[in-house]
A and B are shown apart, each in its own frame.
Chain A
Amino acid sequence: MPKDTGIGASSKRREDVRFLTGKGLYTDDVSLHAQAHAVMVRSTVAHGRIVRIDTSAAAAMPGVLAVFTGEDFAAVGGNPAGWLINSRDGTPMREPKRPVLAHGKVRHVGDAYAAVIAETYQQAKDAAEQLAADTEIEELPAIVDMKAAVADAGNRVHDEIPDNLCFDWGWIEDNRAAVDAAMKAAPHVVTLELVNNRLVPNAMEPRASIGEYNPGTGDYKLTTTSQNPHLTRLLVAAFVMGIPENKLTVVAPDVGGGFGSKIYHYGEEALVLAAAKKLGRPVRWTAERTESFLSDAHGRDHVTKIELGCTKEGEILAIRTETLANVGAYLSNFSTATPTFLHGTLMAGPYKVPHVYVNVKAVFTNTAPVDAYRGAGRPEATYSLERVIDKMCRELNLDPFEVRRKNLLTPDQFPYTTPVGLVYDTGNYQATLDKAIELGNVAGFEKRAAESKARGKLRGMGLSTWIEACGIAPSHLVGVLGSRVGLYDAATVRVNATGNISVMTGAHSHGQGHETVFAQIVAERLGIPESSVEIVHGDTSKIPFGMGSYGSRSLAVCGSAMNKAVDKIIAKGKKIAAHMLEAAEEDISFADGKFSVAGTDKAKTFGEIAFSAYVPHNYPLETLEPGLEETAFYDPGNFTYPAGAYICEVEVDPDTGKVDVVAFTAADDFGNVMNPMIVEGQVHGGVGQGIGQALCENTSYDENGQLLTGSFMDYAMPRADDVPFYTVDHSCSTPCTHNPLGVKGCGEAGAIGTPPAVVNAVIDALHRGGMTHVTHIDMPVSPHRVWQAING
C-alpha cells in the first residue's frame, strides 16, 4: 500500500490551491500606496557608443518624477560574477564591471541605459519613448559570432578586453599531455562538432521588482522575482548599492518560474531601490514580454568540438573537448561557473574513461548575457558526450545499448574518482538502463518501426545515459574551484506553543512544490499531520539565511538543514520529556509523535512537550531554556549524483522533415523519493524542456545583433501536442550516501538527459530510412533543418 501521508506519499501540492484559483501573490500583484512606475529605456542597437542623452524633454513630460541614466550609477559598485575562473596560464578571468545602467557604451539590444519614473505606467512609457528619441548612440559593428569575436582584435565588446576573451580554461590542465597521448594511441577517434543552442528561459511570470525606502528608519525593501532572496540581498547590499545588509529586506513572494533566470541580480532591482530613495515613494517595474526576451539571462550557447578515442569494440579510452562558450555582453552572476565547473567536471559521464580533458574559452559578444538555465553546463556536457558516443556506434557499427553497458561504471566501483575531479558516491547505472529498456519496450521496436513505415513515416530510437552533479555544493570544494560564496543552506524549525510548526527555509519555491514536500518530511519525523506544518520562504526578514533554489539543491541541501533542525527539536524534546516523565534522558525514545520511557507505558505527546516548552510550569528551567525553536545550517559533504537512462522514439515525416516524439521513457535514480507525484512532475517538466531545446527553441541573432526570435511569433516554445505521454520511473534507487535524507535531486534531470536522446533518435530514423549521409543535425532539429539534411 502506498503511503497517503508523510515521506514517500504523493501528497497533493498544497500550493496549487492558490495557484490554480488565482489567489497567488506575485510581485506585480503587490500594489502600494503612492507607488510610481519605472520604464527602462533599452538600446535598439547591439553595440554603440552613447554620444549624448538629453533628458530635459522627457523630464518635463506629464507625470514624470525622475529620470536616471548610467551617469547616476557611475559611482556605485558593479554586479559581480560569483566565480573567479583562472585561465590555463594561471591568469584570472577578465571581469568587466556590470553597471546598473549602461554607461559610455551599450553592449546588446535590450541593454538598459536609462530609466524613467512617472506617476503612471503610460506616462513613463511616453517619456521613455521621448528619451530614446533624444539619445544619440553611435553604432559600432556588432560582435555576434564567437569565432569572429576571438579572431578580431580590433572590435571589442569591452574596450579594455582586447580579444573578447573572458578566460581560456583547461580542465584538468595537468592531464592535457596524457589525454593527447591517449587520443593519439587510440585505435579509432570519433570527431563531432556541434552547437548547444542558446535558449530564452521564458518563465511564465516576467521579471518584476518593487523598491521601497523608509526615510524615517533608513530601511530599504525590495520585492522581486528571485529564486534566492538572500543572495540578491548580498549582491545589492554589499556589492552594488553599498547598503548594510541589516537595512535591506528582500522579499520574493510567489514566483512564476525561473529555470535559472531569476537566480541573478539584475540592474532593475538596484534601480527601483535608488529611485524609491530619491522619491521617497515606492517604485515598481515589471518587464514586458519583449524585455524578457531581450534582457533575461539566456541559457546554453556553446560551440563544441568533441573527440572520442576508443577501441574498435567501443571501449572509450579518451575524451577531449574544445568549447567556445558565449557569456554575452556582461558576466551574469553564475556565468563563469556554468561552462566550467558545472560542465567540464561532468565530461566523463557515467562511464569509466581513463583520460578526459576539457578546454573552454568564454567569449564576450554583443548579445544578452548567458547564464545557468535548468541543468546549467551539465546538459551541454551530456549532449556532447551522448552524441559523440552515438556517432561512434554508427562509425563502428556497434549497438548503442551494448556500448553504453560496456562503458558504464559498475556498482562495485563506487566511490569512484573521475578524471575530471568528482567523486561519485553511489549509483547503479545498469539498473536504470535495464529499466528503461524494459519500460520502453525496446524489444518491440522493430515492429513499431514497420508499422510507422507503412504510414510513410521513419521511426527511430535514441538513447542517452546521463549523470549530473547537483545538490550544489560543498563549500570547501567550490571555494577551491573559485566560488566567491559558500553553498550551504539553512532552515529554522519553529514549534508553536500549540504544537503546530512553522519552518523557515533558505530554499525558495517557485513552482517546485517545496511547501508540500518539506512539510511531508517534518510531519513524518515529528509524527504530526502535514497540515500542522507551514513552510515559510522568500523573505530575508523571516528566514535565517539561505542560498536559494537552483542546481537541484533545495531538498538535498536545505532539506538536510531542515532535517538537522528537526533532530535538534527532538533532542530538546527528549530533555523536556525526561523532566516531565521523571526519567533519564537516555531512556526517552521518540516515535510516532510520542516521547516515551523505554519499557514503560509512560509517554508524552509531541503537543504536550511543545506546550510545556512555552508554558514552562513543570520544566527544567535551571538547565534548559524555554521555547522550542531550532536553526540548522548544512554544508553538503559532496555533490549528489542523480543518473538515469532515457529512451526517445520519434517519427520523422521524410516529405516535410517534421519530427514527432511518439514515446519517451525516463528511468532515473534520484535516491530516496519524498513525493513520487512531484518527482514525476519535475521529470515531465524537464523532459518537456529538453524536447523544446532539441526540436523547437532557437535563439537567433542576425549579424547586426538584432534578436530575430524576440517574441513567441518566432521563438517556438514546446506545446502540449509537441510532447508524448511520458513513461517515468524512479524505482532503481541508490540513496545518496552523504546526506541524511538520502536524496539526490530531480529538478534538472529531464532537461539534461533528454536532448541527446531526441537527436540520437532523429539520426537513427534517418539512417533506418537509408539517409546514412546524415551524421548530425544541430538543435533545434526543426522540420526545415531535417528536410535540408535529408536533401543536402
Chain B
Amino acid sequence: MHNFDFTKPSTIAEAVKALSAEGAQALSGGQTLIPTMKQRLAAPVTLVSLTGIAEMQGVCMGEGGLHIGAATPHAVVARDAAAHYPALAALAGGIGDPAVRNRGTIGGSIANNDPAACYPSAVLGSGATVVTNRRKIAADDYFQGMFTTALEEGEIVTSVVFPIPEKAAYVKFNQPASRFALTGVFVAKFKDGVRVAVTGASNDGVFRWAEAEAALSADFSAKAIAGLTVDADGMISDLHGTAAYRANLVKVLTGRAVTAAR
C-alpha cells in the first residue's frame, strides 16, 4: 500500500468538497478499495471516508419506499430492512461473511458495480432510485456495464430508494471460490408487472431479462418461463463456468426465485 491522507467529514457537503481535491477518492466500507490499494493497484492521494456522515446512514420507510443511506453496512440492511423488504434483507445477509457485511456498504457496492455483486440486481430488479448529491437516477439509467455507472466525476451516491413489491426473492448461485454471484437473479412482482434482474452472468453487468418479465407478468409461476431460452451470447465465460452454463443458471435461478418469492 502506498501512503495516503485520510479525512472523515460529517456532512455530504464537506465530503463533496474534499473529493474535489486532486487524487481524492471516496472510501465507504473499504471492502473493495482497501484490498486494491494493498495490491498497489490503486493509490489515492486522499481517502474521504463517507462513514461519518449521519445523513448517509440507516434504513427507514419514506416517500417512494424504503430509503437506505448509501453508507449503511450490509449487516444493518439485513437486520433493519427485514420487516419492510424481506427479499432485500435476505440478499444483504447473504453477501460475503460477517466481517464484509459489517463494513461493506450499499453505496460502495453499487458505485463499484462489480458484475458479480448482489446489490445491483436488487436495485435494478426493484426499479429503485439512486440518489446522489446532485440528482436522482432511475436504476434503468444508472447501471451502464461492468464497473460502469452513470455517476460523474465528484458525484457520490447518498441513498437508494426501493419501491416495495408485492413479492420478491433473490436466488444466488455462488461462485465456488469468492462466493460472489456466479449468477444471481432478483425477481420482484409489482402490481403493474414483474421485474427480473440478473447479475453475475453478463459481460455487460447486471441486466433485465425482458422475455421472462413479460411471461411472469402474465403468469407469476415457474412454469411460465419453462419454454424460454436464454441466449449464451454475451455471457461471461471463465474458469468457473462457460457462457452456456451461466445462461442455464439464469433460467434455473429465475424459476427458483419465482417459487421462493414472498
Task: Tell me whether A and B are bound partners.
Answer: yes
Q: Which chain A residues have a beta carbon within 8 Å of chain B's beta carbons?
A: 122, 125, 129, 290, 655-658, 696, 698, 700, 708-709, 712-717, 782-784, 787-788
Q: A129-B40, A698-B239, A708-B239 are in contact. Are A655 and B252 (CB under 8 A)?
A: yes
Q: Would B248 and A782 count as touching, CB distance under 8 A?
A: no
Task: Tally inter-chain residue pairs, CB-CB below 8 A.
Answer: 45
Known A290-B39, A698-B239, A788-B242; further 6 A-B contacts with Cβ < 8 A: A122-B1, A696-B177, A714-B178, A714-B240, A787-B248, A788-B245
Contacts of A708 in B (CB 8 A): 239
Q: Would A782 and B176 count as touching, CB distance under 8 A?
A: yes
B9 at the interface (CB under 8 A from A): no
Q: Whole-angstrom distance between the alpha carbons of A701 and B196 in the complex?
A: 36
Q: Would A787 and B245 count as touching, CB distance under 8 A?
A: yes
Q: Would A715 and B245 count as touching, CB distance under 8 A?
A: no
Q: Would A700 and B239 count as touching, CB distance under 8 A?
A: yes
B173 at the interface (CB under 8 A from A): yes
B154 at the interface (CB under 8 A from A): no
> In this complex, what residue of B is CB-closest to A715?
B177
Q: A698-B239, A709-B239, A784-B240 are in contact. Are A716 and B249 (CB under 8 A)?
A: no
Contacts of B239 in A (CB 8 A): 698, 700, 708-709, 714
Q: Would B177 and A784 count as touching, CB distance under 8 A?
A: no
B145 at the interface (CB under 8 A from A): no
> In this complex, what residue of B is CB-closest to A126?
B2
Q: Would A782 and B252 count as touching, CB distance under 8 A?
A: no
Contacts of A714 in B (CB 8 A): 177-178, 239-240
Q: Would B241 and A784 count as touching, CB distance under 8 A?
A: yes
Contacts of A700 in B (CB 8 A): 239
Q: A712-B178, A714-B178, A716-B176 are in contact. Are A782 and B240 (CB under 8 A)?
A: yes
> In this complex, what residue of B is CB-closest to A712?
B177
Contacts of A713 in B (CB 8 A): 177-178
Q: Whole-angstrom distance between the alpha carbons of A787 and B177 in the complex?
A: 18
Q: How many residues on B have C-beta within 8 angstroms of the other chain's C-beta atoms?
A: 16
Q: Would B176 and A783 count as touching, CB distance under 8 A?
A: yes
Q: Which chain B residues have a beta carbon within 8 Å of chain A's beta carbons?
A: 1, 3, 39-40, 173, 176-178, 239-242, 245, 248-249, 252
Q: Whole-angstrom distance between the alpha carbons of A656 and B252 in the complex?
A: 8
Expressed in whole angstroms, the minimum distance between the Cβ of A782 and any Cβ of chain B is 6
Q: Whole-angstrom distance between the alpha carbons of A657 and B177 in the complex?
A: 16
Expressed in whole angstroms, the minimum distance between the Cβ of A758 and any Cβ of chain B is 15
Contacts of B242 in A (CB 8 A): 784, 788
The binding surface of chain B is classed by DSSP as: loop
Instruction: Pick 16 A–B contacts, CB within 8 A, sort by A.
Output: A129-B40, A655-B252, A656-B173, A656-B248, A658-B173, A709-B177, A712-B178, A713-B178, A714-B177, A714-B240, A715-B177, A717-B177, A783-B173, A783-B176, A784-B241, A788-B245
Contacts of A717 in B (CB 8 A): 177
Q: Whole-angstrom distance between the alpha carbons of A715 and B240 in the complex?
A: 10
A125, A709, A783: most-surrounded residue (chain B CB, <10 A): A783
> In this complex, what residue of B is CB-closest to A719?
B179
Contacts of B241 in A (CB 8 A): 783-784
Contacts of A656 in B (CB 8 A): 173, 248-249, 252
Contacts of A658 in B (CB 8 A): 173
Expressed in whole angstroms, the minimum distance between the Cβ of B226 and any Cβ of chain A is 12
Contacts of A787 in B (CB 8 A): 245, 248
Q: Whole-angstrom distance between the alpha carbons of A95 and B176 in the complex?
A: 38
Q: Whole-angstrom distance between the alpha carbons of A657 and B246 in the complex?
A: 12
> In this complex, what residue of A is CB-closest to B251?
A655
Q: Whole-angstrom distance between the alpha carbons of A608 and B80 in the complex?
A: 68
Contacts of A782 in B (CB 8 A): 176, 240
The 8 closest A-B pairs by CB, nearest first: A716-B177, A716-B176, A784-B241, A713-B178, A655-B252, A714-B177, A784-B245, A715-B177
Contacts of A712 in B (CB 8 A): 177-178
Q: Whole-angstrom distance between the alpha carbons of A665 and B253 in the complex?
A: 32
Contacts of B1 in A (CB 8 A): 122
> In this complex, what residue of A is CB-closest to B3?
A122
Q: Whole-angstrom distance between the alpha carbons of A143 and B241 in the complex?
A: 25
Q: Whole-angstrom distance between the alpha carbons of A782 and B239 in the complex?
A: 10
Q: Whole-angstrom distance between the alpha carbons of A61 and B134 in the complex?
A: 45
B39, B40, B239: most-surrounded residue (chain A CB, <10 A): B239
Expressed in whole angstroms, the minimum distance between the Cβ of B160 and any Cβ of chain A is 26
Q: Whole-angstrom distance between the alpha carbons of A717 and B242 in the complex?
A: 21
Q: Whole-angstrom distance between the alpha carbons of A713 and B178 in the complex?
A: 4
Expressed in whole angstroms, the minimum distance between the Cβ of A700 and any Cβ of chain B is 6
Expressed in whole angstroms, the minimum distance between the Cβ of B96 and any Cβ of chain A is 12
